[in-house]
């Protein structure tokens, strides 16, 4: 029998066991929900209420809350019931005062997403910088440039690696920017903060205090049906998996040619001779799935009225899945970059064997007869040195 009923990522090796798994777990989401309720109480309730809520939020039964969530359609309702059963007096009275379920869950997921993005940005930054180091080291390594899988013109491995690093760096910057902009959610039942006004409280000021308490951005207004904070981060995460997936696909292709490998030496259950590029494979798999999760977030962003009837509910799972995939992809890409092995002799042999094809464009566009000594791939690299230097500068600019 299984040792646990928890989702530990058995079918998702790209993120299983990674730091992003723990910061996006059900336990992390419950903790974030309690933190929201505590911060709300700290902003508007008498002294001591927030501490009581914090204490009541320990040792909650996530499995029971998940099952009970069916009755109300979200996990906040049974969570509040569980907390109230452990509270009394002012603490029970002020719990969730003025808020609605969506306020709690949106804010909790913003906290979880911020933590997941921080882990992801750290690993992605390391990936880009490591690839940039490889690019510098292989500035002079001539490799066959290939288009539509066929030899085209010569390029350098350094330029290729720098291009990968630049894509990762740009996506990393986008993730960081979107995560830093994640706002608190506090609007009450229909986004007017009316319950605070009815209690003689300033809801706008309370929302600002909750944001400061939790370290989130302040929202100009409630965003119950305006989902750009989620879709912007989702788009950035997909961009990152695009970049790491491109690395994975290229590394797998070049590993098949023997020009480099990802250092993983993955085995097979039946074929002892295999040394599979498993890191590259995991990156490609994550990149294949991520766009559909991002599309789900955009589909869920088409909302109605002041609170959506199902679209919001459709957002939660793909958002977490995307956070996990991107976080796992960034960690895997860093391992690949750190373990990358290059085989210059194989690369040189392939360049030599396809030199005629690689220099065909040169023969067509050369303005005069080329001296035999010049008719070699290493002398037909165009502006590759200049482009590499530009990329290295751009990479660091994106990361700082």
DSSP string, 335-383: HHHHH-EE-HHHHHHHHHHTHHHHTHHHHHH-SSPPPGGG-SGGG--TT
- Report the percentage of the chain scoring pLDDT > 90: 90
Closest CA to 36 of 233, 192, 201, 184: 184
Could you tell me if residue 44 is inside a domain?
yes
The vertex-271 CA angle with 265 and 274, nearest 5°, equals 25
**Domain holding 134: CATH number?**
1.20.200.10
What is the distance between the alpha carbons of residues 249 and 92, in angstroms, rounded to a whole number?
55
Q: What share of the chain is helix, strand, coil (3-state, %, to 5)?
A: 65, 5, 30
Highest average pLDDT, of 163-167, 260-264, 272-276, comes from 163-167
**SS3 call for 259:** coil
Q: Which domain holds residue 39?
A: 19-347
Q: How far is CA 94 from CA 28, 91, 200, 213, in A?
A: 23, 5, 14, 17
Could you tell me if residue 390 is inside a domain?
no
Could you tell me if residue 354 is inside a domain?
no
**SS3 call for 35:** helix
How many structural domains are present in the chain?
Answer: 1
Residues 6+ apart with CB under 8 A from 324: 9, 12, 15, 20, 21, 24, 116
Contact 105, 33 (CB under 8 A): yes
Could you tell me if residue 389 is inside a domain?
no
Kindly tell me if the per-residue pLDDT of 271 is higher than 50.
no
pLDDT at position 363 is 86
- Reported as a pLDDT band with limits 50, 70 and 90, residue 1 is very low
| Arithmetic mean of pLDDT, 140-152 | 96
Residues known to be catalytic = 268, 307
Q: Are strands 341-342 and 260-261 parallel, antiparallel or unpaired?
A: antiparallel
What one-character DSSP code corresponds to residue 187? -
What is the distance between the alpha carbons of residues 248 and 283, in angstroms, rounded to a whole number?
5
| Orientation of helix 101-137 relative to helix 157-180, angle to 10° | 160
What is the distance between the alpha carbons of residues 272 and 297, in angstroms, rounded to a whole number?
42
- Reported as a pLDDT band with limits 50, 70 and 90, residue 258 is very high
Closest CA to 131 of 345, 388, 323: 388
Could you tell me if residue 196 is inside a domain?
yes
**pLDDT tens per residue across span 324-338:** 999 999 999 999 999
The residue assigned the tokens 């391992």 is 335
Could you tell me if residue 60 is inside a domain?
yes
What is the distance between the alpha carbons of residues 352 and 307, in angstroms, rounded to a whole number?
64
| Arithmetic mean of pLDDT, 225-237 | 99
**pLDDT tens per residue across span 42-97:** 999 999 999 999 999 999 999 999 999 999 999 999 999 999 999 999 999 999 99
Could you tell me if residue 380 is inside a domain?
no
Contact 165, 125 (CB under 8 A): no
Contact 151, 220 (CB under 8 A): no
What is the distance between the alpha carbons of residues 373 and 382, in angstroms, rounded to a whole number?
17
Kindly tell me if the per-residue pLDDT of 193 is higher than 80.
yes
Mean pLDDT of the chain: 94
Could you tell me if residue 152 is inside a domain?
yes
């Amino acid at each position: 029998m299984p040792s646990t009923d928890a989702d530990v990522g058995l079918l998702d090796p790209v993120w299983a066991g990674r730091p992003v798994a723990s910061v996006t777990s059900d336990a992390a989401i419950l903790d974030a929900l309690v933190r929201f309720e505590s911060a709300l109480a700290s902003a508007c309730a008498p002294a001591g209420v927030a501490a009581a809520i914090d204490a009541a939020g320990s040792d909650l039964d996530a499995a029971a809350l998940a099952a009970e969530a069916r009755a109300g359609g979200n996990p906040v309702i049974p969570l509040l019931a569980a907390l109230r059963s452990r509270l009394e007096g002012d603490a029970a009275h002020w719990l969730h005062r003025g808020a609605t379920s969506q306020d709690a869950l949106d804010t909790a997921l913003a906290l979880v997403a911020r933590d997941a993005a921080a882990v992801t940005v750290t690993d992605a930054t390391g990936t880009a910088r490591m690839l940039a180091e490889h690019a510098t080291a292989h500035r002079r390594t001539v490799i066959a440039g290939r288009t539509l899988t066929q030899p085209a013109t010569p390029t350098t491995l350094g330029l290729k690696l720098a291009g990968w690093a630049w894509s990762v760096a740009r996506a990393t910057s986008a993730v960081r920017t979107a995560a830093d902009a994640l706002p608190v959610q506090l609007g009450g039942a229909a986004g007017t903060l009316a319950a605070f006004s009815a209690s003689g409280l300033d809801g706008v000021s309370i929302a600002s205090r909750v944001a400061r308490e939790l370290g989130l951005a302040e929202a100009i207004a409630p965003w119950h049906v305006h989902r750009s904070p989620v879709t912007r981060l989702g788009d950035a995460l997909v961009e990152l998996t695009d970049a790491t997936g491109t690395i994975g696909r290229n590394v797998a292709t070049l590993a098949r040619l023997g020009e480099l490998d990802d250092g993983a030496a993955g085995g097979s259950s039946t074929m002892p001779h295999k040394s599979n590029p498993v890191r590259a494979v995991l990156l490609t798999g994550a990149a294949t799935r991520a766009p559909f999760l991002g599309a789900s977030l955009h589909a869920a962003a088409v909302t109605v009225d002041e609170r959506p009837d199902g679209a919001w509910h459709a957002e939660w799972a793909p958002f977490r899945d995307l956070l996990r995939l991107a976080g796992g992809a960034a960690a895997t890409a860093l391992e690949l970059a750190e373990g990358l092995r290059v085989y210059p002799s194989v690369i040189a042999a392939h360049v030599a064997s396809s030199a005629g094809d690689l220099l065909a464009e040169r023969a067509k566009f050369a303005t005069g007869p080329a001296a035999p000594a010049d008719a070699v791939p290493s002398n037909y690299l165009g502006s590759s040195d200049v482009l590499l230097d530009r990329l290295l500068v751009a990479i660091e600019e994106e990361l700082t």
